[in-house]
Structure 1
Amino acid sequence: MTDEASRIGVLGVLGAGRLGSVLARLAADSGLRVLVAGSGDPALIARPMAAIGAHATTLDEIVAEADAVVLALPLGRVATLPADALAGMLVIDATNYWWAADGIRPDLDDPRGSTSELVQAHLVGARVVKGLGHMGYQDLEDEARPSGAAERKAIAIAGDDAHDVATVAALVDRLGFDPVVAGPLAAGIMLEPGAEAFGADVDAAELRAMLDRFPSSQRGIVVARARGGRLFDAPG
């Protein structure tokens, strides 16, 4: 196990829906202690969480005990999370703007910025890395493979801090996928709905090719125009 992987011994998951449950099971299967908080009383999800090796709990317990937190809830609900409580924590943003869940929200669909940047703007003090949200939950459940296995699929991540990106990359590997670094947090827009990589169930080489094609794609051109001709710059 790499040093980065060993830094996450307890993983918190905010959201007990399909994505949150799949990620919780993968993490528990990998040997992590997994804490899951839904939107209501933990007792309501205690049995299904126990069945996949996770523990149903509260946000407060996750903040107190987890080494990293995955956001697996509707993007529109991120604004209800207590920023002070999550300050200083490594937060893995698996959210996406989805009109069926979030409603019609032009503020969440602005090509001038990625949705993970909006998450970071709300969670001031947290260390946000985009990841685990561009592959469908069913593919996540079906495609996990040991490191080095043939036909292993890839998951892209984006973040501004190299150490945090390395930590999340090690977690992705531990969950059963090859990590591909997309770039800074602003590059997370390449993993959102409308981009080729969103919904991709491909290996690392093809995922990298998708990211490389983004600037010339229809979505990439829209983003570049909205950003004054530039896609994104390295942090700092």
Structure 2
Amino acid sequence: MSTTSLEPLTIGILGAGKVGTVLGRLAVAAGHRVLIAGSGPVSKIGLIVEVLVPGAVAVPAEQAAREADIVILALPLGKAVTAGGLGRIPADALAGKLVLDAMNYWWEVDGIRDDLADPRVSTSELVQALLPESRIVKAFNHMGYHDLDEGPRRVGAADRKAIAIAGDDADDLASTAALVDSLGFHPVVAGTLRESISMEPGSPIFGANLPVQDVVSALAAFPESERGRIVANARTGEADDLREAALVRG
């Protein structure tokens, strides 16, 4: 279902799990060319894609990254960001690319990872630091895959739901917003990558399947939420430490 006049793009999706296949179906329905890569051999992923994402093509991760106009990371975060750096992400092939980070930290899946749970840093900032030659935007992470699958609506529909996005570059946010719109959702800019922590698990918006004004309200409620207070306290402490270090150096 194409919902806007956005020209067809090639969308590369790294991850053939529930979120990756749902986003693949939405992108195919919107008229985009979709390349999907998973963790197994292409022959195995090909069967999954054939059944769950008709019209998409299973390819190696590097091909999906190189040929795509926009790449979506839909991997388990702990597999993408390992203790030693990058995991299952073809960094060289992603150089210069707009990369949408749809990943979340789940300790049940990713293990106990202090680096991924640090309230001073959003997980998308970590991804950007590991992919310095790519342009990262947080998107498609806060809505459940069932709601994503069932939620697309045309522009102007009374029951159209909203998807929050966050990034540091206005042009990249505009491109991401156009893609979100084409898939059938209203894009809402949540702020910078640093501010994308307001979209992570534990925030008021996480799990939200809401219209635009309610998504705006949920984002605005973050500072007063339990998670928001934890983040604010941690970041205040970080700022105090930096000021103290600067005074010592001075």
User: Aligned-pair distance for 1:86?
Assistant: 1.2
List per-residue Cα deviations over 1:54-108 (Å, max 9, x = no partner): 1000112112211010000011121212322211111000000001110111110
Letter in 1 for 2:43: A
User: Aligned-pair distance for 1:42?
Assistant: 1.1
Q: 1:66 aligns with which of 47, 68, 73?
A: 68
Alignment of 1:122-141 (within 5 A): 122-141=130-149
> What SS does the corresponding residue of 2:31 show, helix, strand or coil?
coil
2:225 equivalent in structure 1: 217
- Unmatched tracts of structure 1, length 5 or more: 232-236
Is 1:57 aligned with 2:65? Answer: no
After superposition, the CA RMSD in angstroms is 1.6
User: Aligned-pair distance for 1:230?
Assistant: 9.6
Q: 1:96 aligns with which of 96, 104, 116?
A: 104
Q: Percent identity?
A: 54
Q: 2:162 aligns with which of 130, 147, 154?
A: 154
1:77 equivalent in structure 2: 79
Kept in 2: contact 1:12–1:35 (CA 8 A): yes
2:190 equivalent in structure 1: 182
Q: 1:115 aligns with which of 107, 114, 123?
A: 123
User: Aligned-pair distance for 1:229?
Assistant: 7.2
Query: What is the number of equivalent residue pairs in this alignment?
Result: 228
TM-score (structure 1 length as normaliser): 0.93
Name the CA shift for 1:75/1:193 in 2 (closer, same or farther; >3 Å): same
List per-residue Cα deviations over 1:99-152 (Å, max 9, x = no partner): 111011111000001000000011111000000011000110011111111211
Farther-moved stretch of structure 1 (48-57 vs 107-116): 48-57
Larger Rg: 2
Letter in 1 for 2:68: A
- Unmatched tracts of structure 2, length 5 or more: 81-85, 240-250
Provide the rounded CA distance (Å) in 2 between the counterparts of 1:31 and 1:129. 22
Letter in 2 for 1:12: G
Provide the rounded CA distance (Å) in 2 between the counterparts of 1:63 and 1:48. 19
> What SS does the corresponding residue of 1:158 show, helix, strand or coil?
strand
Kept in 2: contact 1:83–1:124 (CA 8 A): no
Kept in 2: contact 1:196–1:214 (CA 8 A): yes
> What SS does the corresponding residue of 1:129 show, helix, strand or coil?
strand
TM-score (structure 2 length as normaliser): 0.88
Provide the rounded CA distance (Å) in 1 between the counterparts of 2:154 and 2:101. 24
Alignment of 1:220-235 (within 5 A): 220-228=228-236
> What SS does the corresponding residue of 2:221 show, helix, strand or coil?
helix
Letter in 2 for 1:64: R
Alignment of 1:161-180 (within 5 A): 161-180=169-188
Provide the rounded CA distance (Å) in 1 between the counterparts of 2:94 and 2:134. 6
User: Aligned-pair distance for 1:153?
Assistant: 0.6
Provide the rounded CA distance (Å) in 2 between the counterparts of 1:125 and 1:142. 34
